[in-house]
Amino acid sequence: MSSHAARLPRSAGARSLPAVLGRVSPETLLASALGALMAAVALGAGGGLQLGRTTTVEMALQGAGGLLGGAALLTTGGRRVHGGAALVLLALLAGVTGLSITWAVQPGDAWLETSRTLSYLAAFGAGLALVRMAPGRWGALIDATVIAAAVVAAYALLTKVFPAALNPDETFARLREPFGYWNAVGLMAALGGPGCLWLGARRHGHAVVNALACPVLALLLVALLLSYSRGALLALAVGAAVWFTVVPLRLRGATVLGVSALGALITVVWVFGRDSLTQDEAPLALRETAGHEFGLLLLAMVALLLAAGLAVGFLTARSAPGAQTRRRAGVTILVALALIPAGVVVNLAFSDRGLGGSLADGFEQLFDPDASAKASPSNDPGRLTAVGSVRARYFADSLAIFSDRPLLGAGAGGFATARPRVRPDELDVRHAHGYVFQTLADLGLVGTSIVLALLAAWGWAALRATALLHRRGAPQPVVDAELVGLRTLLAVIAVFGVHSFVDWTWFVPGTAVLALLCAGWLAGRGPTRDQRGELLTAPRAPAAPLRVALRDRPRALTALGLLVVTVATAWATYQPLRGADAADDALALLEAGNADRARVRALQAGEIDPLSIEPLFNLAVIEAGAGRRDAARGALERAVQLQPQNATPWLRLAEYDAAQGDAKGALAALRPALYLDPKNTNAVTLFLDVNRQNGVSVPTPGTP
C-alpha cells in the first residue's frame, strides 16, 4: 500500500469540530456569533413587556457586557477610550432613571425601566469593548445585523406560511410575531436594509455570499410591507438615503435595491390580493391554504433573486463600469429619487382637495389630536398610504404630563400611570409612541438634557469615525472599505433613530440592542483620518497572555470592580421577577386551601420587591378570605401609601370598602381615584352604585 493510499482514509474521513472551525475565518465566526446573539435577544425578549422573558434577556445582556468590558480592560489597557463621554452620559441616564424611583408615580415600573436602561448600557459598552479588541472586524458586525434581521423576518413570514403550527390563534392579518407588535417587526426588517445594500454592493467577499443580498433584502421588504408599518417604511427610506449619500457605491447599491424591490413588490401584490392573508379574523383553514401558496411564492422569489444577484455580480466583475458611466448612473438615480416627491405633489394637485387642501388635511390628521383619533386608519394594506394616526393624541398627553412636572417628570415608566388623569379617552396606553415625548413625560428636563448631551457626544464620535467631520480646507478623505462599512453602520443607526422618534421601539430589546451595538462600535472606533485626511490605522489589541495583564494591578482591580457591579446589577434586575413569582405562589397556595403559607409567601413577595403593589393586593385577598378584615384593609392602605399618585390602589380600596358596606370609606377612596383617572368606567360605575345604594342622586362624574 502506498503512503498516499495509507493517508486516504484519514483525509476523507469526518473532520473534528476544531478542525472544521479552524477553516472558518474569524470574521465569519464573529458575524455568526453576534447575529445569533441579536436574533436570540429579539426572539427571547419579544416585545419587552413580559417580565419573565425580558428579565432573562436583560440579565444575559448585563453579564455579557460586563465580561466583554472586563476583557477589554485587561487586554487593551493604556489606550485612549474613544466614546467614553457617550458611555458616561448613558450611565448617567441610567442613574437618573434609577433615582426617579424616589419620585415616580409608579416606582415599580421605574425599577423595571432602570433594569432595561442598564442592559442597554451594557449593550453599548459591549460595542465599545468589541471595537477595542477587534477593530478590524467591522464587517462582521454588519453581517450580524443582516443575519439577525433575516432570522426575525423569516420567523415572522413563517407565521403566515404555517399559521396552524406557529400562530393558530392570531386574529390580525398584520405581521406582529415574534414581538407581538407589528411596528417592531417592520423596524427589525428595516434595520437589515443598509447591511444588505453594503453586502450586495461591496467590491470584496465571496460572490455567492454577496449575491444573497438580493433575496435577503427582498424578504426583509416583504416582511416590512406585510407589517403595514408606515414608520418602518419611513425609517428605511431615511436609512437608505443616508447610505446612498455617504457611500460611493451608488450604482451597485441601486442595482441591489432595484432588483430586490421588484421581487418583493411582485410578491406583496400577490399577497394583497388574498383576503385570507390580509383581512383580520380570517378562518384558520383559509389562512393555512393561502399560507402554503405564499411559502412556495417566497421560495421562487428567493431562487430567482439569488440567480439575479449572481448574474449582476458576474457582469460587474467582468466589465466594471467606467467613471463616466458611474457618474451618469448616479445622476440618474438622484433624478429618479427627486421625481418621487414631485410625483406625489402632482398627484395631490390634481386631487379633489387640490394641493393646498390635501396638505392642510394631512397636516391636521397628523398633528391635531382630535382629528388624528378620528382619522386612524384600519389594519389593512391601505394603511401603508394613509396619513392619519393617533400618535398626535399620545404626544399631546405626554406634553400635558410634562407641563405638570417639567423638571423631573413622572418618573421612569410613569407615562402609563400618569396619562389617565389627562387622557381624553378610555384607552390604556403604556407608551407615548415617541422617545422624545416619552422622555419629557417620564424624566422631564433633567432626563431630556442628558439625552441631548448623549446624542451630541455620540454624534461627534460617530462623525469623526466615519470621516464625515474634518477640518475645513482639508482634502476629502479617500473612502476605503472600512469607511464604507462604518458609514453603513451609521445608516443602520439612522433607521433606528428615525423610528424611535415616532414609536416606542426603544422598549423592544431586539431592535434597541442591535442599534446600540452598532452605536457603541462607531463611538469606540475613534477617528479614522487625521486632520489632513490621511488614514489612521485602527489600533489592535495586544496579544499578551492574561497572566501578564493581571499583573497590572489598577487594570485588574478595575476589571474586578466591573465584574462586581455586573453581578450586583443582574441581581437587582432579578428581584422584580422573584417578587412576581412569589406573589403567584401565594395565590396558588391560597387556591390549594393553605391560607397560612399563602400569607407568608405574600409577605415574602413584598419584601423581595418592596416597590410593587401586587403582593399587597394578594395579601388583601388572603386576609379577606381568612376573615381578617382589618388586616385586609391595612394591606390596601399600605398599597395606597406606596403609590398615592396611582389610581389603581385607591380604586381597589374603594371596591373593598363598598363590598364591606362602608359607603363613607368607599366614597373617600373614590375621590382621589376619579381625580387620577376620571375616565375609568369601573370607578364611575362604583361611584354611582354607592350613592344610589345610599339614596343619593348624583350626576356622572365629569358631567355638568
pLDDT tens-digit map of 583-602: 999 999 998 889 899 999 99
Grid coordinates representing 429? 396606553
Q: Rounded distance, CA 268 to CA 338, Å?
A: 25
Looking at residue 242, what is its pLDDT?
93
> CA angle 542-547-550, nearest 5°?
85
Q: Bin 427: left if φ > 0, else alpha if -120 < ψ < 50, else beta.
A: beta
Instruction: Kindly indicate the confidence band of residue 641, based on its pLDDT and cuts at 50, 70 and 90.
Output: very high
Nearest C-alpha neighbor of 162 from the set 250, 288, 48, 38: 288
Nearest C-alpha neighbor of 312 from the set 205, 207, 217: 207
Tell me the pTM: 0.88
Q: Rounded distance, CA 182 to CA 574, Å?
A: 28
Residue 691 has pLDDT above 50, yes or no: yes
Question: Which distant-in-sequence residues (6+ apart) come within 8 Å of 305 by Cβ?
Answer: 214, 215, 218, 259, 260, 263
Tell me the sheet residues that pair with 480.
none
The CA distances from residue 560 to 71, 78, 83, 555, 691, in Å, are 10, 17, 22, 9, 64
Nearest C-alpha neighbor of 529 from the set 481, 573, 600, 476: 476
In the Cβ-directed half-sphere of 694, how many Cα atoms lie within 13 Å? 15
Per residue in 227-267, pLDDT (tens digit) is: 999 889 999 999 999 999 899 888 888 889 999 999 999 99
Looking at residue 369, what is its pLDDT?
61
Cis check for the bond before 420: say yes or no (omega within 30 of 0): no
Residue 348 has pLDDT above 70, yes or no: no
User: Does CATH place domain 579-693 in 1.25.40.10?
Assistant: yes
Q: What is the DSSP string of 174-226?
A: S--TTTT-HHHHHHHHHHTHHHHHHHHH-SSS-HHHHHTHHHHHHHHHHHHHH
Instruction: Kindly indicate the confidence band of residue 39, based on its pLDDT and cuts at 50, 70 and 90.
Output: very high
Looking at residue 14, what is its pLDDT?
46
User: For the chain, what is the mean pLDDT?
Assistant: 84
Residue 345 has pLDDT above 90, yes or no: no
Looking at residue 698, what is its pLDDT?
52
Per residue in 324-342, pLDDT (tens digit) is: 666 666 666 666 666 666 6
Per residue in 98-123, pLDDT (tens digit) is: 999 999 999 999 999 999 999 999 99
Instruction: Kindly indicate the confidence band of residue 429, based on its pLDDT and cuts at 50, 70 and 90.
Output: confident
Instruction: Kindly indicate the confidence band of residue 22, based on its pLDDT and cuts at 50, 70 and 90.
Output: low
Per residue in 69-93, pLDDT (tens digit) is: 988 888 876 667 788 999 999 999 9
Sign of CA dihedral 288, 294, 300, 305: negative
What's the per-residue H, E or C state across 466-529? CCCCCCCCCCCCCCCHHHHHHHHHHHHHHHHHHHHHHCCHHHCHHHHHHHHHHHHHHHHHCCCE
Least confident of 278-282, 378-382, 496-500, 645-649: 378-382
Q: Rounded distance, CA 675 to CA 671, Å?
A: 6
Looking at residue 328, what is its pLDDT?
66
Percentage of residues in the chain with pLDDT exceeding 70? 81
Residue 10 has pLDDT above 90, yes or no: no
The residue ranges of every structural domain in the chain are: 37-320+379-525, 579-693
147: amino acid identity, one letter: I
Per residue in 267-324, pLDDT (tens digit) is: 999 999 998 999 888 899 999 999 999 999 999 999 999 998 888 777 666 566 666 6
Instruction: Kindly indicate the confidence band of residue 7, based on its pLDDT and cuts at 50, 70 and 90.
Output: very low
N residues, the chain: 704
Residue 8 has pLDDT above 50, yes or no: no
